[in-house]
Structure 1
Amino acid sequence: MIKLLVGLGNPGPEYEDTRHNAGWWWIDRVAQDLRANWHPERAYFGLTARTTVDGQPLWLLKPTTYMNRSGQSVAALARFFKIAPTEILVAHDELDLPPGDARLKRGGGHAGHNGLRDIHAQLGSADYWRLRLGIGHPGVKAEVANWVLRKPPAAERDAIERAIDRAARALPLLLAGDVARATAAIHTNQPPRPKPPRPAHPPTDGTDGR
């Protein structure tokens, strides 16, 4: 069972709306849904919130160490409360997915993401859950650093928010251990179906209109 939810991002108003903070956007939405209040915790190098779901304690964490030291915060809380890597879910921005896509996975590499890289190192394990929130790729590797630290245009932000909404709504399934249904709900990325056309007024000549 997941016992710790982590959203990755950078502290400070200059980073608040940048693509690199997609993990923070998700964890803030979850805290709102769970009515959990954030508190600064120096011992865990971040903002924490604690709640209970189905009688089980659940921690929420926003590291404030800056992205490349995220593992310092995650490992500090996980070790103190004896939370195993398999009981941790980390939400983060993902260059390899377009805005609007989200993917759930457990384990794997860090793919050059500095936050995940430090979590790997500090936990000594890659065997934790990841919620990958697509932010798209600039197309040129040299532009990645600038890309993640820029605000997405409104259409992209709306797409990311839709993915965040799906993932937040699927969280109860994941916490209940229903990984298959949670994964299906998160991975579905379909545009809203158009409303069907309204039927024409019935003919008045007594025919059926055919």
Structure 2
Amino acid sequence: MFSLKDFFRRLTGSASGRASQGAAALDPAELSADWLIVGLGNPGPKYAATRHNVGYMAADDLLAADGDVLAPVRGVPAEVAVLTVEGQRVVVARSTTFMNLSGQAVEPLAGALGLPPEKVIAIHDELDLPAGKVRVKLGGNENGHNGLKSMTEHLDTRDYLRVRIGISRPPKGVRVPDYVLGPVGGGEDFDAAIATAAEAARLIVTAGLSVAQNKIHSR
């Protein structure tokens, strides 16, 4: 499991992390997959351990088991790795845009892979869930989430899958932007939620949405 401690070690240079380091850019025309899983977040060390980046963290958790690393994609603002999960070929991606432009990475990746929206899974933070709670759904409103708004705009539909990691609402008097861009801490432990979100994405790929919901929502 890829933990928050790994993110802090990455920031101090004591861990290599999952981001590519000088990896050759991949040709999007040569990528193929049955599914696209996108962890939403903001790029750069400034944001690495913030609440808004739990989607990035879950994407890293998916890569951790086999030591896979992300590589850039030529002409697309994203880094990706290709996994095989129980016979399903999966592209795991993180956009290199900021959160509110996530669709600029997701739409061209889905297009290059020839995948419909229902084969695209976004893993993201969710203010309207208690901290650490994970829920899975297809479609629905964006609930003010700028990354989802951008995906909806560029995919021209809301009918993509979401793995939602609860971060709860900010305390009274704290602005939402300050809260979501603040570091995870103060007794918050998201390691289990990040691992559960990664598991939820795997379950969708291998067993379908209903099975994933039944298993994840029972916790």
Query: Which of the five TM-score ranges fits, normalised by the shorter chain?
Result: 0.7 to 0.9
Is the contact between residue 8 and residue 63 of structure 1 (CA under 8 Å) also seen in structure 2? Answer: yes
Per-residue CA shift, 1:32-91, capped at 9, x if unaligned?
A: 135432101242201111122233321011001000100000001111111110001000
Is the contact between residue 203 and residue 212 of structure 2 (CA under 8 Å) also seen in structure 1? Answer: yes
Unmatched 5+ residue regions in structure 1? 190-210
Corresponding residue for residue 107 of structure 1: 139
Is the contact between residue 2 and residue 86 of structure 1 (CA under 8 Å) also seen in structure 2? Answer: no
- AA matched with 1:97: L
Question: What is the aligned length?
Answer: 187
Higher-Rg member (1/2): 1
Is the contact between residue 6 and residue 60 of structure 1 (CA under 8 Å) also seen in structure 2? Answer: yes
Corresponding residue for residue 214 of structure 2: 184
1:162 lines up with 2:192 in the alignment: yes
Counterpart mapping for 1:143-158 below 5 A: 143-156=175-188, 158=189
1:53 lines up with 2:85 in the alignment: yes
Corresponding residue for residue 3 of structure 2: none
- AA matched with 2:178: N
Unmatched 5+ residue regions in structure 2? 1-32
Corresponding residue for residue 8 of structure 1: 40
Is the contact between residue 40 and residue 124 of structure 2 (CA under 8 Å) also seen in structure 1? Answer: yes
Is the contact between residue 163 and residue 201 of structure 2 (CA under 8 Å) also seen in structure 1? Answer: no
Change (3 A) 1:94 1:38: same
In structure 1, distance between residues paired with 2:73 and 2:117? 21
TM-score by length of 2: 0.79
Change (3 A) 1:141 1:91: farther
Report the more deviating stretch, 119-128 or 40-49: 40-49
Counterpart mapping for 1:3-42 below 5 A: 3-42=35-74
Q: CA RMSD in A?
A: 1.9
TM-score by length of 1: 0.82
Deviation at 1:24, TM superposition (A): 0.4
- Of all paired residues, the percent bearing the same amino acid is 39
Is the contact between residue 51 and residue 125 of structure 2 (CA under 8 Å) also seen in structure 1? Answer: yes
1:175 lines up with 2:205 in the alignment: yes
Change (3 A) 1:83 1:76: same
